[in-house]
Amino acid sequence: MAKKRVVTTKINGDTVEFLCEPRQTLLEVLRNTLDLTGAKEGCSNGNCGACTVLMNGRPVDSCLVLGVEAEGAEIKTIEGVACGTHLDEVQSAFLENAALQCGICTPGFIMQTEALLAENASPTEEQIRFYLAGNLCRCTGYDKIVQAVQSAATKRQSGCGTTACCH
């Protein structure tokens, strides 16, 4: 077994140091070492998007990133999206639009949506469907997720929602 390394990152705005073996994925570190279990493991090979987090602002499948690769990175997970007790527009839009059934895919979809809206404030339906195509949902048939993303975009643009303020 290779020696553990010390990795220093910023996670949801806080500086975090953790020890990890080279073979451990970022997903494993988040879930098992840091108890941030919001990112889910659906496949552990980059096919389902349930483990999506933002790494330096970009969405990544955290099951395809090694823990040691997170050195110096800024990570944002689903746990860092709400501001205190305020849900951000994407989170509340998912609830208002009933965009989840079992909810296991939801953290990944929300992170991917955050990345989409940061890149493109008013995406078309086609753009939404394209950008979210790496996130699998087996329950909803996707319609309500697409609607939620549209409504979050509208809310964020008109400034009437709660923008995540913490980080």
Partner 1 sequence: MTTAPKPKYKVIGTRPIRHDGADKVTGRAKYGADIKLSGMLYAAMLRSPHAHANIKKIDTSKAEKLPGVRAVVTSKDIPEQGDRIVELGEGAVNMRHLASNVLAREKVNYRGHAVAAVAADNIHIAEEACKLIEVEYEVLAPVMDVIEAMKPGALVINPDVKDENGKPTNVAKTFCFEKGDVAKGFAAADVVIEKEFRTATVHQGYIEPHNATVHWNNDGKVTVWMSTQGTFSARQQTAELHRIPISDVKVIPMEIGGGFGGKISVYLPPVAAALSKKTGKPVKLVMDRAAVFEATGPTPGSVMKVKIGAKKDGSLVAGEAWVAFEAGGYPGSPIGMGCMCVFACYDIPNAKVDGFDVCVNRPRTNAYRAPGSTQVAFAVESIIDEICEKLKLDPIEFRLKNGSQEGTRRVDGPVFPRIGMKETVQAIKDSDHWRQPLNGKNRGRGVATGFWFNCGLKSAASATVNPDGTVSLLEGSTDIGGSRTAIAMQLAETLGIKAEEVKPSVVDTDSVGYTDVTGGSRVTFATGIAAIEAGKDIINQLKERAAIIWECDAGQVRYEDGSVHGPKGVSLTFKQLADKLHHTGGAVIGRGTSSEATQGGAFGTHAVDVEVDPETGKVTILRYTVAQDAGTAIHPSYVEGQFTGGAVQGIGWALNEEYWYDTNGTMRNSTYLDYRIPTCYDLPKIETIIVEVPDPQHPFGVRGVGEVPIVPPPAAIANAIHQAIGVRMTELPMSPPRVMKAILSK
Helix H, strand E, coil C: the string for 50-91 is CCEEEECCEEEEHHHCEHHHHCCCEEECHHHCCECCECCHHH
Q: Is 150 in the site for partner 1 (CB under 8 A)?
A: no
**Is the four-CA dihedral 99, 167, 72, 121 of positive or negative sign?**
positive
- DSSP summary character for residue 105: S
Token pair 């990570």 is found at 75
Q: Is 54 in the site for partner 1 (CB under 8 A)?
A: no
Q: Is 65 in the site for partner 1 (CB under 8 A)?
A: no
| Smaller CB separation from partner 1, 50 or 117 | 50
Binding string, residues 90-109; x marks residues near partner 1 by CB under 8 A: -xx-xxxxx-xxxxxxxx--
Q: Is 140 in the site for partner 1 (CB under 8 A)?
A: yes
Strand 58-61 to 52-55 pairing: antiparallel
Q: Which residues here bind partner 1, judged by CB under 8 A?
A: 1, 21, 23, 31-32, 35-45, 47-48, 50, 77-79, 81-82, 87, 91-92, 94-98, 100-107, 110, 128-130, 132-146
